[in-house]
Structure 1
Amino acid sequence: MLIALNQWLPIPLCPVNRGEGKEWPLIDNRYTFPQDYIAFITQYGSGQIANFITLFNPFSEDDYLNFFQQKEAILEGFDSLIQADPDYYTFHLYPKNNGLLPIGETDNGDTLFWVVSSHDSNLWTIAIIPSRASEVEFIAENLTGFLEGVLSKRIRCLSFPAGFPSEKMIFSPEV
């Protein structure tokens, strides 16, 4: 899927935070990162996809882009919402079975998640919780399949703007 994604999203000339020379950490000493995500970060590094989607990166030193910092902050925030109104917020969060593990966000405030459905992270699919909503949109794709799907317009996300993506798609490295 990464090769298909490369056709829609050119690889940046100077990617940053690719983890070169570093060992990939485990998620909570339990899970490896999915192979497609590792391949994506290795090629693209940190940055913004098509001026709209930002993925968190375990190698970023920016707290707002660092996977581990954002994982804790987002899970804590969503857990507070669930505790306050469990009838309205009915989804499960990581580390529960089929729990949602945050992986990125959009400029509109939507949150992208992996659905942790297996000990094999390569089987994880994608979910989106729109900004200020309780509905979860599940997409039966891995991360790079999802990205290729939205950029090629094969996948239409209910919470994404009708005009996304625009004709000119770039990856803007984190500065």
Structure 2
Amino acid sequence: MLEKLEKILSIEKKEHQYDWEKVEDSYEIKFPNDYKSFIEYYGEGGINEFLWILSPFSEYENLNTIFKFNEMREAYEIMKIDFPKMCEFEFWRNGKGIFPWGITDNGDELFWNYKDDSVEIVIFSSRYSEKQIFSCSMSEFLVDLLEKKKECSIFPNDFIRQENYYEL
């Protein structure tokens, strides 16, 4: 799927080498393989200066998966007390729950929802007033989104361009 993404999302080839095992062991998480391939090829950065892909290796707090995980978890747990119906998911713990992988300029948040035997994508609008769930991998989601085969009502219509690009 990454090969398909490379054709529709331009970047000056960077290719990175990261110690995934160390990060995964430290935080007791197994990141999806397509995400790891994406980060190794593209690194952290944004699609069309709107959708930002987080990385556990980023030096920038706003793009660092682990920093954002802690920040988002704290906010989510506080919201869950006051708005339990809006916050129906558990945050990542012991192999299950939501874990962030992306954010948008509008404040929307993209998560994986780790279930017993699968992982789905959950996208919350900036104030958690709306959510969308997709049963696919991150790379499948991005390919289908950029090819306009899949629509995310939370994102603005003009986010997808004729020539999509990725940059830090």
TM over 0.5: yes
Whole-angstrom CA distance in 1 between matches of 2:52 and 2:25: 19
Equivalent residue, structure 1, for 2:130? 135
Matched to 1:69, the amino acid is F
Whole-angstrom CA distance in 2 between matches of 1:154 and 1:113: 20
8 Å CA contact 2:13, 2:41 repeated in 1: no
| Residue among 47, 58, 74 paired with 1:60 | 58
Q: State the identity as a percent.
A: 31
> CA offset at residue 96 of structure 1?
7.1
Equivalent residue, structure 1, for 2:120? 125
- Segments of 5+ residues of structure 2 without an aligned counterpart are none
TM-score between both structures, scaled by the size of structure 1: 0.86
What is the CA RMSD across the aligned residues, in angstroms? 2.0
Whole-angstrom CA distance in 1 between matches of 2:46 and 2:8: 14
Number of residue pairs the alignment of both structures matches? 166
The change in CA–CA distance for 1:34 and 1:163 in structure 2 (over 3 A counts) is same
1:37 and 2:35 are equivalent in the alignment: yes
Whole-angstrom CA distance in 2 between matches of 1:171 and 1:32: 25
Matched to 2:5, the amino acid is L
- Segments of 5+ residues of structure 1 without an aligned counterpart are none
User: Relative to total residues, which structure has the larger helix share, 1 or 2?
Assistant: 2
> CA offset at residue 134 of structure 1?
3.4
> CA offset at residue 133 of structure 1?
2.7
1:169 and 2:167 are equivalent in the alignment: no
1:12 and 2:12 are equivalent in the alignment: yes
Structure 1 stretch displaced more, 57-66 or 127-136:
127-136
| Residue among 112, 134, 140 paired with 1:114 | 112
Structure 1 stretch displaced more, 29-38 or 143-152:
29-38
The change in CA–CA distance for 1:29 and 1:100 in structure 2 (over 3 A counts) is closer
Equivalent residue, structure 1, for 2:142? 147
Whole-angstrom CA distance in 2 between matches of 1:41 and 1:160: 22
| Residue among 101, 104, 109 paired with 2:102 | 104
Whole-angstrom CA distance in 2 between matches of 1:166 and 1:51: 11
Secondary structure at 1:128 match in 2: strand
Secondary structure at 1:100 match in 2: strand
